[in-house]
Amino acid sequence: MPPLDPHAPLAAPVEAEVTRIRSLRGAWRWSLILCTAATIFLCVNQQFALRFFVGFTPLNTEYYYGLVLVMLPFVFLIFPGTERASLTRVPWYDALLFALTAAAALFLMLHIRKAAELGWEFGGAPAQVVWVGYLMWALLMEALRRTGGWGLVLSILPFTFYPVFADAGWLGPLKGTESSMAQASAYHMLSSESLLGIPVQAFAEVVIGFLVFGTGLMMTGAGKFFINLAFGLCGTFRGGAAKVGIFASALLGMMSGSVVSNVLTAGTMTIPTMKKTGFTASYAAAIEACASTGAVLAPPVMGATAFVMAQFLNVSYAEVALAAAIPAALYYFGLFMQVDAYAARHGLKGIPRAELPRLWQTLKEGWYFVLVVVLLIYMMLVMKRESHAPFYATLLLVVLNQLFNKEKWGWGTVAKFLEVNGRTFAELVGILAGCGLLIGAFSLTGVISSLANDLLRIAGGNALLLLGMTAVTSLVLGLGLTTTACYIFLAILVGPALEKAGLNKMAVHMFVFYWGMLSAITPPVAIASFAAAGIAGAPPMKTGWESMRVGSIIYFIPFFFVMNPAFVLQGPLGETLYVTLCAAIGLVFICGGIQGFQMFVGDLRRAGTLEWPLRTALILGGLVLATPGGGIVPLSAAQMVMLAAALLVPAVILSLWAFRRSPT
């Protein structure tokens, strides 16, 4: 099998279809590299308390504004304002926006200490600060449009003005305390609840380190190592190419936390191999899209939304990562069982061992990647140093790479490393700072507590109905918003109501998180499906619908852990093991019913006219078995198992009886 180059040009055309990014050259490129280095320096100085600024200790808000100053202006250089804008040359108006953003951020940063001393965010801010706030407000919305699209900015912008007319009678449950434009501007720009609120705080405190670590892994060849490891472990199984895609994408996703980059890295290798071994183009693309979508769900390095969630919950990121472990494992197990049943039904074999990388040779060449990941996890979970862990892991990675990797880093690689990080930093700051205004708007009006009571009243106090409303809203919002924006929106509006309904706080926020990211595989957006379809040469929309079918289990899993928070490690260990085992067994039946091949039973086509009734019974029985009883579910755990048995046992017996009567 040919070696994988994680930076091969093959990925470029697909990436261009997903998003338009301008390639900076000359002085602009070196400015980005230097500002990225400054961002990492500021973060290391703050997190490790190095006190490089002798005689001056920056406030947290000054540090946050420093990051906005060095990264936000680059949004206007990296992301073109129109479809027709040049991808190689920076036009004058983008250079002007760059300068205005830098000037506004610098001005506000220089005044933030005095604002904190005098309480300007609640009124009394000087006119010049208010007017610079208006300018930054407008620039943030344009940055949001360029990084997240019109759907995101049109969803956020009206709410940023919400405090100005919050006392209007027609707002109903959203009626709150009204403020003037000047007060709203000062609050948005100077308080630690809006522009400098939870999203930017998450970026400044934890995200930067993990992004640096993820980029370091990819640029030292971890992508090649993980994919070759997956081929060596799973390639010979039936449907082996697809199982390799799932396993490889899970490994890569655990390190990158990025859906599209996961598709572009693993998919360029796994999708052609799947097609070669008998999978249709659309099914191969759907498998890769679903497997890559798990990137934002799989610890230890999850997507940016998970770091924002930790800030919302006021817990360590390690706690969020641990809570996500079982749901992520169930998701990938469900994908694996779907592929196994599909391969068995269609007679798809594995890849010959002679065509696969040698497992021992792969481990021999890339053992240090495993060591680095172990260090990261140890520092996060045992030493509780999550803000320090990615920096130490990156440092160890670079040292080991220089000692043991044939392709050692030179100064050109370091510059490329900073440039890649800079593009990611700028994009995230553009999205997170803009979304922070949404939090600020609701914080300023004080409407959240009353809204929770109103939503509960609308749902009649029924937690299941409220969950259903939240799921539908999340899915709809996810079609137009980024996962992070969708999560923030619903964590503010619906989260408190779900908590008041008696549901576990961690489970509630994980529920919103899961449903918000489903747009990655759900048409009409389905960015992961479309990226994978581009590699496979499959129709994008067909791939999107296929992805929904392949990844269907992810639509159920969020309800499981809200019904019983033991799934997210918020209960006794014994209960966690029990509900996880029931869910895993239930998934075997659900996947067998969906694909028409039940493990230990056989191909359900042999049942003739009984095939679809049996498949339906298997899906329903598996779903009942996987669903935890008690709590908001009217049946107890024992009753749920008995009901599942009443559906599954007759279905299995009837299947075996039908098989005996039918010719082989």
pLDDT of 12 reads 30
Cβ–Cβ under 8 Å, residues 644 and 614: no
Q: Is residue 3's pLDDT more than 80? A: no
pLDDT digits (tens, 9 = 90+) for 526-543: 888 988 999 999 999 899
Separation of alpha carbons 187 and 108, rounded Å: 12
Give the SS3 label for residue 340. Answer: helix
pLDDT digits (tens, 9 = 90+) for 406-432: 889 999 999 999 999 999 999 999 999
Phi, psi for 615 (deg, rounded to 5):
-60, -40
- What are the boundaries of each domain within the chain? 14-199, 581-664
Give the count of beta carbons closer than 10 Å to the beta carbon of residue 145.
Answer: 21
Q: What is the DSSP string of 239-296?
A: THHHHHHHHHHHHHHHHH--HHHHHHHHHHHHHHHHHHTT--HHHHHHHHHHHHHGGG
pLDDT of 151 reads 83
Residues 6+ away with beta carbon under 8 Å from 383: 389
Cβ–Cβ under 8 Å, residues 78 and 36: no
Tokens of 138: 């407008």
Give the pLDDT band (50/70/90) at residue 524: confident
The CA-based diameter of the chain, rounded to the nearest angstrom, is 87
- Average pLDDT value for residue range 312-339: 92
- Average pLDDT value for residue range 121-146: 94
The number of helix segments (H) and strand segments (E) in the chain equals 30, 2
Please enumerate, as own/partner, the contacts of 135-138 that have beta carbons within 8 Å and a separation of 24 or more: 135/100, 135/104, 136/101, 136/104, 136/105, 136/108, 136/189, 136/195, 137/185, 137/188, 137/189, 137/437
Q: Is residue 494's pLDDT more than 90? A: no
Give the count of beta carbons closer than 10 Å to the beta carbon of residue 99.
Answer: 12
Nearest Cα to Cα of residue 492 among 145, 182, 293, 197: 197
| 391-57-195 Cα angle (round to 5) | 75
Separation of alpha carbons 295 and 302, rounded Å: 7
E strands present in 484-565: none
pLDDT of 1 reads 43
Q: What is the DSSP string of 433-486?
A: HHHHHHHHHHHHHT-HHHHHHHHHHHTTT-HHHHHHHHHHHHHHHHTTS-HHHH
pLDDT of 54 reads 65
Q: Is residue 300's pLDDT more than 90? A: no
Mean pLDDT, rounded, of the chain = 88
pLDDT digits (tens, 9 = 90+) for 610-629: 999 999 999 999 999 999 98
Amino acid identity at 543: T
- Pairing label, strands 597-598, 602-603: antiparallel
> Which H helix or E strand runs over 598?
strand 597-598
DSSP 203: I
pLDDT digits (tens, 9 = 90+) for 365-394: 899 999 999 999 999 989 988 889 999 999
Share of the chain above pLDDT 90, in %: 55
Cβ–Cβ under 8 Å, residues 606 and 345: no
Q: What is the DSSP string of 622-637?
A: HHHHHSPPSTTSSS-H
Give the pLDDT band (50/70/90) at residue 663: low
Give the pLDDT band (50/70/90) at residue 664: low
Q: What is the pTM of this model?
A: 0.87
Give the pLDDT band (50/70/90) at residue 298: confident
More confident call, 20 vs 278: 278
CA separation, residue 256 to residues 114, 215, 617 (Å): 39, 8, 39
Give the pLDDT band (50/70/90) at residue 108: very high
pLDDT digits (tens, 9 = 90+) for 176-218: 888 999 999 999 999 998 999 999 999 999 999 999 998 999 8
Separation of alpha carbons 612 and 617, rounded Å: 9
Separation of alpha carbons 664 and 652, rounded Å: 18
pLDDT digits (tens, 9 = 90+) for 44-71: 999 988 877 766 778 899 999 999 999 9
Residues 6+ away with beta carbon under 8 Å from 621: 586, 589, 644, 645, 646, 647, 648, 651
Separation of alpha carbons 270 and 4, rounded Å: 10
- Average pLDDT value for residue range 293-308: 85
Cβ–Cβ under 8 Å, residues 622 and 593: yes
Give the count of beta carbons closer than 10 Å to the beta carbon of residue 384.
Answer: 12
Separation of alpha carbons 375 and 388, rounded Å: 11
